[in-house]
Amino acid sequence: MRRVFVIVALLAGLAGVAAFQLTQRHVTNADARVFVPSSRFYLDFSPSFRTTIADAYWLSTVQYYGEHLKSDARFDSLGAMLDLVTELSPRFVRAYQFGAYALLDAGEGQKAYGLLQRGWRRNPDAWQLAAAAGMLVYMYGEGETKVQIAADWYRQAAAVAGSPDYVSRLAATLLQKGGERDKAITMWAQVYAEGDEYARQKAVAALDELLPARCDERIAALAALDVPMTPDRRAELSAALLRD
Amino acid sequence: MNRMAAVALNTFKETIRDRVLLVIVVFALAMIVAALWLASISLGETARMMQDFGLVAVTAFGVIVAVFVAGTLVRKEVEKRTVFVVFSKPVRRGEFITGKFLGLSLTMAVVLAGMGAFLFLLTWLVAGVSSWVLLAATGLVYLQVLVVIAVTIFFSTFSSALLASVLGICVFAAGQLSHNVLSLSRLGDSALLKGLSWVIYLLIPNFSAVDIKPGVVGEATAAWDDIALWSGYLAAYAMVALVIATLVFNRREF
């Protein structure tokens, strides 16, 4: 009997606590302006735990972005939060990537570009950052040189070992659009050398457009191509481009 | 040597019997729940979050278990008067203290190896990646725990078990911040402040020098030569703490 009484009292107590919690106004990041401490403080205070603190702020940043995206679309502290995360953990590639897109949503295009530039400087092996910067410039940039700048970003991304085929394909397309014919030819040849069948078809079509139309000039241009390629593939490319 | 080994073995059996291994089970369950939760909210950074927060959990669990067990090791023997039985045999006080330290070190090796291996496997199973640096980092956490055990045993030779445990935690926290003490000395011109800062800096173990947590998530490359040197320093620090503990314990009247 006594045990039953204790259990009932315990359950009643728990229910009371839960009811109190549920009826209170929930504490969230409802305010778009939140306090973001200086990264200097954490770097001085606890260098051993700096990445853990960065991770905690990363989770908080994702939550902040999600909450405000659904509600008021105000992201006043987003830039500061991303700065804090990336200062504490400069090699946190996803923070730059996600951060750039999130800052675009916040209407902070310049900050997004700056974040990607900083990320690329610190992580020259992360092709994703250069590719994202290229995309950002191409989609949202202004001025006549934007295609060339975007192409240059893609070219840098394509130069990173392990970057996928489509990056060099994009770089080549943009260089072609930007009028850098020789670079575009080299990039497309690279796509042909390393790409799958689809990529090779695209490369042949692009090279066909870029290379001189006269047969002797085209043969000379193909011979001058300074792109490592197996002899079979080189012969295949020559055959595809010299079929007429 | 045999007498010390006997004390160590007894301490190991005693602490293992104290359900210390339950810590591994609690850690495992906490990590599984955390892993599933982190996977859903970290935007694809599950491995990073698991490794980073997992190592913090390993450190916290390890230090808390170590200080609370180390705090009671010597005190319990004194308060229960079992220490008389031990000293009625040809066991020196230094052997007793060192044996206690070695026994608990063995227990903590089992606890930390269990948590480290579980974290390694869980990260590999859930996120598909795991790094040997994670295991190395767990090893270096163990080294820090050894120092904390030695210091807590030292405190327990002249204070209550609870106070010794609290002081042990304080030393661990201070060890994470020791580099800041030197920064303080540069703040003013006072020679006294500078001298005091240097003394405190030398007294506090420098734990951040052997911490490679940022390296686990690819943030910094560990300088293994430096880490080997600092590991030697921490081992020496633990030995000095044990020698001082023995000297204090030698002066106790039973």
DSSP string, A185-228: HHHHHHHHHH--HHHHHHHHHHHHHHS-SSHHHHHHHHHT----
Residue of B nearest to A89 (CA): B219
Residue spans of the domains in chain A: they are 32-123, 126-244
Range of the domain at B226: 2-250
Q: Does B27 score more than 80 pLDDT?
A: yes
Q: pLDDT at position A29, please?
A: 53
Q: pLDDT at position A30, please?
A: 66
pLDDT band at residue B173 using 50, 70 and 90 as cut-offs: very high
Residue-averaged pLDDT of chain B: 88
pLDDT band at residue B71 using 50, 70 and 90 as cut-offs: very high
Task: Tell me which residue in B45, B180, B208 faces A94 most closely, judged by beta carbons.
Answer: B45
Residue of A nearest to B207 (CA): A48
Q: pLDDT at position B113, please?
A: 93
Cα Rg, chain B, nearest whole Å: 20
CB neighbour list of residue A114: distance below 8 Å, 6 or more residues apart:
none
CB neighbour list of residue B237: distance below 8 Å, 6 or more residues apart:
B147, B150, B205
The C-alpha atoms of residue B72 and residue B233 are separated, in whole angstroms, by 26
> Is any Cβ of chain A less than 8 angstroms from the Cβ of B35?
no
pLDDT above 90: percentage of residues in chain B: 44
Residue-averaged pLDDT of chain A: 85
Residue scoring higher pLDDT (B157 or A169): B157
Residue of A nearest to B182 (CA): A44
pLDDT digits (tens, 9 = 90+) for B199-242: 888 899 999 888 888 888 888 777 888 889 999 999 999 999 99
Q: Does A236 score more than 60 pLDDT?
A: yes
> Is any Cβ of chain A less than 8 angstroms from the Cβ of B176?
yes
Do the two domains A32-123 and A126-244 of this chain adopt the same fold? yes
Q: Does the structural domain A126-244 have CATH classification 1.10.3470?
A: no
Task: Quote the number of domains for chain B.
Answer: 1
Q: Does A139 score more than 90 pLDDT?
A: no
Q: pLDDT at position B90, please?
A: 84
Q: pLDDT at position B81, please?
A: 86
Q: Which positions 43-82 of B are in contact with A (Cβ < 8 Å)? A: 43-45, 48-49, 52-53, 55-56
Cβ contact B245:B151 at 8 Å = no
Q: Does B110 score more than 90 pLDDT?
A: yes
> Does the ipTM surpass 0.95?
no
Q: Span B173-183, mean pLDDT?
A: 84
Instruction: State the Cα angle at A35 between A29 and A39, rounded to 5°.
Output: 125
> Is any Cβ of chain B less than 8 angstroms from the Cβ of A94?
yes
Cβ contact A88:A39 at 8 Å = yes
Q: Strand (E) positions, chain A?
A: none
Residue of A nearest to B47 (CA): A55
Q: Which positions 20-39 of A are in contact with B (Cβ < 8 Å)? A: none
> Is any Cβ of chain B less than 8 angstroms from the Cβ of A96?
no
Q: Span B122-129, mean pLDDT?
A: 87
Contact A50 B207 (CB under 8 A): no
Tokens describing residue A84: 């804090």
Q: pLDDT at position A27, please?
A: 52
Of B110, B102, B120, the residue nearest B28 (C-alpha): B120
Q: Does the structural domain A32-123 have CATH classification 3.30.70?
A: no
Q: Span A79-100, mean pLDDT?
A: 93
Tokens describing residue B128: 């598909």
Q: At what angle do helices B93-127 and B46-79 cross, to 10 degrees?
A: 160
pLDDT band at residue B103 using 50, 70 and 90 as cut-offs: very high
Q: pLDDT at position A244, please?
A: 63
Q: pLDDT at position B172, please?
A: 95
Residue of A nearest to B52 (CA): A52
Residues in chain A within 8 Å Cβ distance of B43: 62, 94, 98
pLDDT band at residue B36 using 50, 70 and 90 as cut-offs: confident
CA distance B190 to chain A (A): 22
Residue scoring higher pLDDT (B191 or B204): B204
> Is any Cβ of chain B less than 8 angstroms from the Cβ of A55?
yes
pLDDT digits (tens, 9 = 90+) for B5-15: 888 998 899 88
